[in-house]
Chain A
Amino acid sequence: MDSLISADFWQLTVNGLVRGSFYAALGAGLALVLGVTHRFHFAYALTYTFAPYAAFLAMDRQGIPFWPAALVGLAGAVVLSVLIELLVYRPVAARAGDRAMLAVLVTSIGVSTAGIAALQLIAGSTGLPFYGPTMTIHEWGPVQLSNFELYEVLTCVGLVVAIAAFLAFTPLGRQVKAVRSNPGLAGLLGIGVTRVSVTVFAIAGLVSGACALWYGLLYTVEPVMGDKVVIYGFVVAFLAGTRTSPLRALPVGLGVGLLEQWSSMWVSVQWTQTAVFTVLVVYLVVLSGRGRWRRSVVPRPAPRARLKKA
């Protein structure tokens, strides 16, 4: 076993935990959108990319200092996310009726493509020199961690916990949960579905923006930065479950992060992503086998809401 675990095991583990918490937060945000509104929100990549771009433009064109500019970016992502829901997804979904899911999926691809091209028209198609505060490195034995990574982990874990607490303890959060479990019934109980979906998209915008700002500080802010992220977000969201507690995204995200980093001990670094997806397929195959077994023993869950006819 010794030969299988290389000397950088601990560093890779820490890297995996850092990335894992990042994936967890992104997954939790997307899971909330999927669970509550059933929207395949590929434009998550756009709100993600938008935050550091807006922050950079605020710094570069308006001369705003870094942290206020970062807040501008964050607010921008939230507003953009809500606007996408109100101005694009809602009208499409309302008109598409029971085919809303696929119609929204295609719409979100369109929004994302157009939006990211528009960002490039405004800010140029190269990466942006997005930096400000100084990075400091902490060392513990064989392991190194920058202050940004530490803050990123705190932000991500904090966001996941905050979403969970919001759903559990606030009246609005409970309304979100009610819509998630039965939108028809929630509507009858007088819960404003619009208010709930706006809330959910605001949260998703916030999560994507916060993650992207930290990612941008650590790595590169460029137009394609959201591509991989949105796929990982979907992976974590589905594996953790879109109708369960956001806290479940934490172990799933950490698992994905660790898998990605650890696999670099055995395969070349460039194949780690392939390794993650291969393991994911294998996992789903197992799940499929078990699912069939379970399906044959568990009765169909609650029948689809048929309130309009009853």
Chain B
Amino acid sequence: MKVQPRTRRTRRYAALAAALALTLSVAACGDDEPKVSAADTQAQADDLVSLLKIKDGTDLGGDLTWKMGAALTLSGPSAVNGESMQNAIDLAVDQVKAAGGPTIEVDTKDIKGPDPVASKQAAEELAAAGAPAKITSMGDGLGAMLENTDKDKILSLDGVGGAQVFTQGVQYFYGTREVAPSDAMPGALEWLKQSDPDAKTVGLVGVDLGPFNDPIKADITSKIAAAGLEFNGLWETVAPTSQDYASVISKIKDNQPDMLIVAFGGAAPGAFVAQAKAAGLDSQLMGIEFTDEAVKASKGVLDTEGFHFAMDYFDAEHPSNALADLFVNSYEKAYGEKPDFYAANAYEEVLMFWDLIRRVIADGGDPDDSSALKAALDANPVFASVYGGDSSGPGTLEIDPKTHGVASRNMGVYEYKGGSVSTLATFNIGAADFQMQ
């Protein structure tokens, strides 16, 4: 240790240099641009223009360069969501450009997980970059970004968390999907009554949302009562970090409801269902979200036992309208896999922003002014959607200007089993238009 041979020291610095070289070489990696030829993109863009029924002569914003933020979970347990969203955003941005729309410069930030510090940094950085709008996720980083969203007036669309209770009152924040489990609950309860007339009681297990548990519980129990069912008192929340549900399952077994709402997202429902089935829990389980991660985490149990869930599921196997069809085909072409609902929602949101830009330009406003974009949204909160609708054109997505959530959203009760999803019932918010399939 005292005498340091020169060669060893040199070798150490060589190692350091190698690490730096590695750092630089990484710059070449991580590039995940869609692999689509220009001609294909052009064809997709032409279809897009005709599907969106944009009137001839509309200024599409082609000579505009527009900055858009994207606050995504690119690392941590939810990295897959962020990656899908990023893919869909890249795809949509290319299509919009080819369709004669603006050049959208995407400023992507990783909110890690979401990690509150990273979320806050992302919010500050997007404000500094001067982005008038952003695609965001996780209830704007589980609340950490909301303060900045309003302060810096960044029009934000969240297609992951929707307009959860804690986001309400934030002027520039909008949720473009249902609020799970609240919005889908009446439809799910209606399905329960129709499919199993003997069912009486409902309970819930879910992730903890701190002080928002009580309002959520009040909302869900009132919806259970409104449906003529009985809340059996089971309301167990767990920390989102653990996927060992043994003790919560033994609590549930003490007080089994006819239907148990499984209010977990990501991989957790798979792990929970696998453990619940093993423990012999025989309640009807009703998830609020379904992802491939859940299938993986279930160790095959979801395939063999099946899994019911009620949500605004994006069915990539059976696209419900022409826009969805275009999206699924182009996404699959670009990335070699079918898109999930995170991707679908992000795709929709890019199109929403393009729509708003067109409207602002038509009114003679400045699309870089977020208040003009927000005014255009509030004036007519109806947009093209990859949900609902039929093969003649896109479906519609309607924002509720009061709650900043969705006023109308096609949802359903679905069952996953043996590798495929089948639709059991479809409905809209408040169980409107309920139909058994």
A–B touching in complex (CB under 8 Å): yes
Task: Pick the residue among A15, A94, A146, A220 that contacts B271 (CB under 8 A).
Answer: A220
Task: Pick the residue among B75, B243, B244, B251 that contacts A125 (CB under 8 A).
Answer: B75
Task: Pick the residue among B239, B280, B293 that contacts A126 (CB under 8 A).
Answer: B293
Q: B31 at interface (Cβ–Cβ under 8 A)? A: no
Task: Pick the residue among A144, A217, A222, A268 that contacts B236 (CB under 8 A).
Answer: A268
Contacts of B75 in A (CB 8 A): 125
Contacts of A187 in B (CB 8 A): none
Q: How far is the CA of A12 from the CA of B249 in the complex (A)?
A: 10
Contacts of B80 in A (CB 8 A): 124-126
Q: Look across to chain B and name the residue whose beta carbon is closest to the beta carbon of A149.
A: B246
Contacts of A19 in B (CB 8 A): 244, 246
Complex interface bits, B405-430 against A, C-beta within 8 A gives 1, otherwise 0: 00000000000000000000000000
Contacts of B208 in A (CB 8 A): 270
Q: B297 at interface (Cβ–Cβ under 8 A)? A: yes
Q: B296 at interface (Cβ–Cβ under 8 A)? A: yes
Q: B254 at interface (Cβ–Cβ under 8 A)? A: yes
Q: Quick one: given A137-B278, A222-B267, are A15 and B296 in contact (CB under 8 Å)?
A: no
Complex interface bits, B69-80 against A, C-beta within 8 A gives 1, otherwise 0: 000000111011
Question: Are A224's CB and B271's CB within 8 A?
Answer: no
Complex interface bits, B1-43 against A, C-beta within 8 A gives 1, otherwise 0: 1000000000000000000000000000000000000000000
Question: Are A130's CB and B299's CB within 8 A?
Answer: yes
Q: How far is the CA of A220 from the CA of B246 in the complex (A)?
A: 13
Q: How far is the CA of A189 from the CA of B298 in the complex (A)?
A: 54
Complex interface bits, B263-278 against A, C-beta within 8 A gives 1, otherwise 0: 0000100010001001
Interface residues in B, total, Cβ within 8 A: 35
Q: Look across to chain B and name the residue whose beta carbon is closest to the beta carbon of A134.
A: B300
Question: Are A129's CB and B250's CB within 8 A?
Answer: no
Q: From DSSP, what is the main secondary structure of chain B's interface residues?
A: mixed
Contacts of A125 in B (CB 8 A): 75-77, 79-80
Q: How far is the CA of A7 from the CA of B251 in the complex (A)?
A: 9
Q: Quick one: given A8-B254, A228-B242, A270-B237, are A129 and B295 in contact (CB under 8 Å)?
A: yes
Question: Are A127's CB and B251's CB within 8 A?
Answer: no
Task: Pick the residue among A8, A97, A127, A131 that contacts B300 (CB under 8 A).
Answer: A131
Contacts of A120 in B (CB 8 A): 79
Q: Quick one: given A94-B1, A219-B243, A270-B238, are A127 and B267 in contact (CB under 8 Å)?
A: yes
Question: Are B246's CB and A15's CB within 8 A?
Answer: yes
Question: Are B267's CB and A269's CB within 8 A?
Answer: no
Contacts of A12 in B (CB 8 A): 247, 250
Question: Are A126's CB and B278's CB within 8 A?
Answer: no
Q: Look across to chain B and name the residue whose beta carbon is closest to the beta carbon of A148.
A: B278
Question: Are B239's CB and A131's CB within 8 A?
Answer: no
Q: Look across to chain A and name the residue whose beta carbon is closest to the beta carbon of B252.
A: A8
Contacts of A124 in B (CB 8 A): 80
Q: Look across to chain B and name the residue whose beta carbon is closest to the beta carbon of A270.
A: B239
Q: Look across to chain B and name the residue whose beta carbon is closest to the beta carbon of A97.
A: B1
Q: Look across to chain A and name the residue whose beta carbon is closest to the beta carbon of B247.
A: A264
Q: Look across to chain A and name the residue whose beta carbon is closest to the beta carbon of B246.
A: A15
Contacts of B295 in A (CB 8 A): 129
Question: Are A127's CB and B293's CB within 8 A?
Answer: yes
Q: Look across to chain B and name the residue whose beta carbon is closest to the beta carbon of A96.
A: B1
- Most chain B CB inside 10 Å of its own CB: which residue of A15, A97, A260: A15
Contacts of B437 in A (CB 8 A): none
Q: B392 at interface (Cβ–Cβ under 8 A)? A: no
- Most chain A CB inside 10 Å of its own CB: which residue of B75, B76, B243: B243
Q: Which 7 A-B pairs rank lowest in CB-CB distance, beginning with the nearest?
A: A131-B299, A129-B296, A125-B79, A8-B250, A264-B247, A220-B243, A270-B239
Known A15-B246, A219-B243, A269-B238; further 14 A-B contacts with Cβ < 8 A: A6-B251, A7-B254, A11-B253, A19-B246, A126-B267, A126-B293, A127-B271, A130-B299, A220-B271, A222-B267, A260-B247, A264-B247, A269-B237, A270-B239
A-B CB contact pairs (8 Å), 6 listed: A126-B267, A127-B271, A129-B295, A223-B77, A228-B242, A269-B236
